[in-house]
Amino acid sequence: MTSRSPAAIRPPARAWCALVGAGPGDPELLTLKALRTLRKATLLLVDDLVSDEVLALALRGRRKPPRVVHVGKRGGCRSTPQAFIERLMVSQALAGEKVVRLKGGDPFVFGRGGEEAEALRAQGITVEIVNGITAGLAAATALGVPWTHRDHAQGVMLVTAHAREGSSGPDWSVLGAAAAQGLTLVIYMGMARLADVQAGLMSALPPGTPAAIVQHAGCTLQRHAVTTLGGLVQCRQRHGLGSPAIVLVGDVLRGLAAAAADTPARSAAA
């Protein structure tokens, strides 16, 4: 038997893909690890919630820029089917591309990052996950309130109002009852179903419970309005707030609600 030196035995090149959190929009909120991972990309698959500023930073100074494909999936709009995105990620990673999927906020907070990781791992592709600052956190910070001020909340619930096909979505009265025990509610994808969300929560929480809507949190277009649970739908209409937005409900907003009930503001985002 001939022996080969260890240096001569090369492991097969592993197919690799990274799911990178772009944060809410402000490029300064991108992590150093995200930036370093983005610089490895030969193919960049970009979510439509990723800001132009973050994308520009990802491409800045690259002698050989990666191929960029926009694969938006915004609720209610025409978008690239999820199955197509997953097939593209898998086929390109297996073909040797360094695929980076740049996703708004954190890749594992809603937005189907979990399904993408599963599809990649099922094909033996190495998956790297890089956290980003999720929109719900940026939204609370935009208002200057913590999710969990200990005088008001012992925890936080991140909930999506978007129901899977064939499902009626979360039971808002149950979530309202949990919130009444001292949990801050951070609601994603809530704008299209705001009336249902409001009605369900009001079966368990008083209408005067502080609430807020933050649109484009952490982006230059950031706007917000502070209101009450009973005033949510009216507030959205009066101030023309739309997606993407986070709806916050809970006593951590109480100081704001007292100071500025139903107050719209252009926030001083970066």
Which residues does the annotation mark as catalytic?
47, 73, 189
Q: From 31, 255, 20, select the one nearest 140 (Cα to Cα).
A: 255
**250 contacts ligand SAH (rule: CB under 6 A):** no
Which residue is at the shortest CB distance from ligand SAH?
Answer: 105
**147 contacts ligand SAH (rule: CB under 6 A):** no
Question: How many chain residues are in contact with ligand SAH, going by CB under 6 A?
Answer: 26
Q: Which is nearer to ligand SAH, 112 or 149 (CB)?
A: 112
Q: From 41, 43, 42, 21, select the one nearest 32 (Cα to Cα).
A: 21
Window 34 to 93, contacts with ligand SAH (CB under 6 A):
49, 75
Q: Which is nearer to ligand SAH, 111 or 170 (CB)?
A: 111
The token duo for 257 is 């609600």
Single out the residue of 216, 224, 236, 239 in contact with ligand SAH (rule: CB under 6 A). 216
Least Å from the CB of residue 53 to ligand SAH: 12
Burial class (CB in 10 A: 0-12, 13-18, 19+), 124: exposed
Q: Which of the ranges 38-46, 145-153, 176-184, 211-219 carries the binding residues for ligand SAH, by CB under 6 A?
A: 211-219
Euclidean distance between CA atoms 22 and 35, whole angstroms: 9
Single out the residue of 19, 38, 43, 135 in contact with ligand SAH (rule: CB under 6 A). 135
Single out the residue of 18, 179, 213, 217 in contact with ligand SAH (rule: CB under 6 A). 217
Q: Which of the ranges 78-86, 92-100, 133-141, 175-183 carries the binding residues for ligand SAH, by CB under 6 A?
A: 133-141
The 3 state secondary structure assigned to the chain is CCCCCHHHCCCCCCCEEEEEECECCCHHHCCHHHHHHHCCCCEEEECCCCCHHHHHHHHCCCCCCCEEEECCCCCCCCCCCHHHHHHHHHHHHHCCCCEEEEECECCCCCCCHHHHHHHHHHCCCEEEEECCCCHHHHHHHHHCCCCCCCCCCCEEEEEECCCCCCCCCCCHHHHHHHHHCCEEEEEECCHHHHHHHHHHHHCCCCCCCEEEEEECCCCCCCEEEEEEHHHHHHHHHHHCCCCCEEEEECHHHHHHHHHCCCEEEECCCC
Window 99 to 118, contacts with ligand SAH (CB under 6 A):
103-106, 109-111
Q: Which is nearer to ligand SAH, 50 or 119 (CB)?
A: 50
**231 contacts ligand SAH (rule: CB under 6 A):** no
Q: Which of the ranges 31-39, 64-72, 148-156, 208-216 carries the binding residues for ligand SAH, by CB under 6 A?
A: 208-216
Residue type, 183: L
**194 contacts ligand SAH (rule: CB under 6 A):** no
Least Å from the CB of residue 137 to ligand SAH: 8
Q: Which of the ranges 27-35, 86-94, 131-139, 164-172 carries the binding residues for ligand SAH, by CB under 6 A?
A: 131-139
Q: Contact positions toward ligand SAH, by CB under 6 A? A: 24-25, 49, 75, 103-106, 109-111, 134-135, 139, 188-189, 214-219, 243-246
